[in-house]
Amino acid sequence: MYRKISKQHNIMFVLVVLVLTVPACASPSVTDTLVPATEEAQPTQTVKPTEEVKSTEESQPDEDGGSKDDVTKEPDRVGQGINVNNVGDLHQTRVVSASNRALLATALSPISHQGATFGTDKYVNVWNTENGEMVYQLGPHAAEGGGLAYSPDGTKLASGGRFEVILWDPAMGKKLKSITVNAYVFRISWSPDSHYLAVVGDGSSKIDLVDADTGSIKTRISTPGGAALWAATYSPNGKWIAVGNYKGNITILDAESLAVLEEDSVTAKGSACDMEFSPDSKLLASCNGSGDIYFWDTESWSVILELIKRDVHIHADPAFSGCTDGVFSRGGDIYFSVGNNMVLNAWNTANGKLLQSITFDNIIFSIAVSNDGALLAVALNDGSLHFLSVD
């Protein structure tokens, strides 16, 4: 049954501060101010400039991973790799000068120590995440774009530049298929079975559902409102496709029938720059150009955690404000967000507390987590690729 949210549902946890400006997240098509990458680029800690980054005093986690006065922690959600108990030890382990142009997207393989980047130089570069060496340089695309994703089975890598999606064999470094789509590609999301891709981007309010096996468009799905879609994601349980448009509206579709199940056009402010389901499919997060982050409970599709704070990807200069990307930890107990204000934040998804905050020296466009949850990859506007872990 289709349901449209026309007023705010009850909020379980609300942190509300008035946001005065609502800038859109940076579009790959207008990125033009670039700084050459250097091997010496290092993140700076927001509180103490020490070698090992620590959590802020305001949100210091206790041994259970929450604040000292928090009793809402969910122990069963603590996963392997980086989690609420060790995220305070998150630190940079390697920096790679991946390009002399902006990196708009990064992705990590689900089956190997391999990662990929894509940016305004139009090349897809494939990296060995253990030693930082380039394995392949693929392309170039005809134009830059923001879409980059490994298939869940790890056998394919999809990249999207302007109106083209290319499928690659990441193990052999070979081009498999090229598909023309109806949007300037911003996001690509694979179905859990690795057979289909949901492709969205500027200039189109429709989802192109690509058959990865045939390299053809299976169908083109219309969404309510008619606004360009900037974000899309499949749920890990295979039940839903969630999309968000440049106005911040979200739409939930049944992944099988492709029918619209839910529409929320009132909650989020600013463009939907990225959307992600938690690994257990119980939460949906939206990272928005307003600098805000929103969470929905997928059982009721009501907002359960709204993070609207002045220090959430908000910069004194509105041109540098906005959340650009986000990803859940493998256990789902942390949501990592990055933004135009050059900050990586780690949020406790049980209570909304800020567990960690790391400031880099340039705009962050993309973040990815490894399949074992032990490694984060962060892609910057200056062309540098940063790896972080707790080891």
**In a structure prediction context, what are the per-residue pLDDT tens digits for the chain, which is 391 residues long?**
555 654 444 333 333 222 222 334 654 433 333 333 333 333 334 322 223 333 333 333 343 444 333 333 343 456 679 999 999 999 999 999 999 999 999 999 999 999 999 999 999 999 999 999 999 999 999 999 899 999 999 999 999 998 999 999 999 999 999 999 999 999 999 999 999 999 999 999 999 999 999 999 999 999 998 999 999 999 999 999 999 999 999 999 999 999 999 999 998 989 999 999 999 999 999 999 988 999 999 999 998 765 555 457 877 777 667 999 999 999 999 999 999 999 999 999 988 899 999 999 999 999 999 999 999 999 999 999 999 999 8
User: In angstroms, how far is CA 110 from the centroid of its own chain?
Assistant: 16
Does residue 129 lie within any of the structural domains? yes
CATH number at residue 44: 2.130.10.10
What residue numbers bound the domain in which 78 lies? Answer: 8-26+34-389
Does residue 366 lie within any of the structural domains? yes
Does residue 52 lie within any of the structural domains? yes
Q: What is the largest CA-CA distance in the chain?
A: 54
Position 294: which residue type? Y
Does residue 66 lie within any of the structural domains? yes
Does residue 367 lie within any of the structural domains? yes
The total number of structural domains in the chain stands at 1
Does residue 185 lie within any of the structural domains? yes
Cα dihedral sign for 350, 328, 164, 102?
A: positive
HSE-up of 320 (CA within 13 Å, CB side)? 13
| Angle at CA of residue 32, ends 159 and 339, nearest 5° | 70
Does residue 3 lie within any of the structural domains? no
**The two structure tokens encoding residue 136:** 């392949």
Does residue 2 lie within any of the structural domains? no
